[in-house]
Amino acid sequence: MNLTLYVWKQKSKDQPGELVQYDARNVSPDMSFLEMLDVVNEGLIRENNEPIAFDHDCREGICGTCSQVINGIPHGPQERTTVCQLHMRNFKDGDTIYIEPWRAKAFPVIKDLIVDRSAFESIIQSGGYVSVHTGGVPDANAIPIPKEDADISMDAAECIGCGACVAACPNGSAMLFTAAKITNLAMLPQGKVEAKKRVCMMTEEMLNQGFGNCSNHYECQAACPKGIKVSFIAKLNREFTKAVNIFSEPGE
């Protein structure tokens, strides 16, 4: 396969960027998208040109580090797939592919296709934890949890924090990410201790980091490589309503 790539090149968040054309030659359909970029970079390095900077880590669809917008779609055209698990057989010989970083105020570009997603870490640090006692680990069956609650919690825990939901949302909202993290803990007995404090602190930090508001476009669910559902946002809203009602003074 021979492909034409238009890749976003930007030296830092303070400098303007532009789409630069590259040729990808003799690409195997069995390559992953990142392996294709590896081959392009090897050619650039041999010619003493600057390679394309992009993020990656596990390359197993687990960490979500490989964040790229491909032809306008976060993580590319294949549903529920990260870039590292997207294979070149999803494209045709002669295709033109546009590759850009996440576009969001809260995710400033570090270089080329790499963005700073530490805003997500700030949201987690603000309240994404549970109280624990040091000492021996209790047996798994010591705290009975209804299967339905456990299933919902596990579904929410699938969120890998890649940021595709933010990149897909026209408002740059982090509601799906925040809702998944809150729901994961809110469904479990261990998460009840900080439940009311957690939802207030995490949603406040989400706004402080510059993320937009949710207006129910559902683009976040469509772009999520793990299929996180927008129903978790409804759960977040219920948790927030309960917390605000309890924290409000009588008569307010």
- Residue 181, both tokens: 């993290």
| Residues 124 and 65 reside in one and the same domain | no
143 vs 133, more confident: 143
| Residues 104 and 138 reside in one and the same domain | no
68 in a structural domain: yes
Nearest Cα to 172, choosing from 124, 228, 119, 227?
A: 119
Q: Which pLDDT score is estimated for 142?
A: 79
pLDDT per residue as tens digits for the range 79-103: 999 999 999 999 999 999 999 999 9
Query: Contact 187/153 with Cβ under 8 angstroms?
Result: yes
pLDDT per residue as tens digits for the range 139-160: 767 788 899 999 999 999 999 9
Domain range enclosing 64? 3-110
One-letter identity of residue 212: G
Q: Residue 115: pLDDT above 80?
A: yes
58 CB-near residues (< 8 Å, 6+ apart):
65, 84
252 in a structural domain: no
| Residues 177 and 197 reside in one and the same domain | yes
| Residues 133 and 195 reside in one and the same domain | yes
| Residues 106 and 133 reside in one and the same domain | no
